């Protein structure tokens, strides 16, 4: 291990002219920021998508991702290197926005679920579930079509 291109067992040797990557707290801060960024990005995308697809389940997952990302960013605020301050500030702002969007999406999806579930259950029990899905409110065949 006295030579520059020697590394501990299991790791490939360092090519000549390159420095080894630091394994200290700077690299750990970078990993934590990247992990929080991934969670915040996922929640930022899943929140609005859950209004169109997925409903309550997707917005719940988005909310969990948003909360986890926000907590990771709050843990990083105590000892932070100056080079990561700008990224941390931007990610915190983005995570707050994602958290609010996910809360609104979850609330709207819950309201829609609570409103539609009794009607869907009743249509399923009556056997008019297909008509319910197709938008026929009276449960009978619509004779207004051109095809009879």
What pLDDT is stored for residue 86 in this prediction?
A: 85
Which is more confidently placed, 100 or 143?
100
Task: Give, for 3, the enclosing helix (H) or strand (E).
Answer: none
Averaged confidence pLDDT in the chain: 80
What pLDDT is stored for residue 147 in this prediction?
A: 64
| Residue keyed to tokens 């969670």 | 39
Q: Which domains does the chain have, with CATH numbers?
A: 25-112 (1.20.58)
User: What is the DSSP-derived secondary structure letter of residue 24?
Assistant: S
What pLDDT is stored for residue 122 in this prediction?
A: 83
Q: How many CB atoms lie within 10 A of CB 58?
A: 20
Is the predicted pLDDT of residue 39 greater than 80, yes or no? yes
């Amino acid at each position: 291990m006295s030579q520059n291109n020697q590394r501990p067992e299991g790791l490939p040797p360092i090519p000549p002219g390159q420095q080894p990557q630091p394994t200290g707290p700077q690299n750990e801060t970078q990993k934590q920021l990247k992990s929080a960024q991934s969670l915040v990005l996922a929640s930022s995308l899943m929140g609005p998508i859950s209004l169109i697809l997925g409903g309550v389940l997707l917005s719940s997952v988005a909310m969990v991702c948003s909360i986890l990302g926000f907590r990771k960013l709050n843990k990083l605020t105590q000892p932070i290197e100056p080079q990561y301050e700008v990224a941390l500030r931007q990610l915190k702002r983005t995570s707050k926005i994602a958290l609010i969007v996910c809360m609104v999406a979850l609330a709207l999806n819950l309201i829609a679920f609570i409103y539609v579930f009794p009607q869907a259950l009743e249509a399923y029990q009556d056997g008019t579930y297909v008509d319910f899905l197709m938008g026929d409110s009276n449960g009978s065949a619509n004779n207004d079509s051109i095809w009879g």
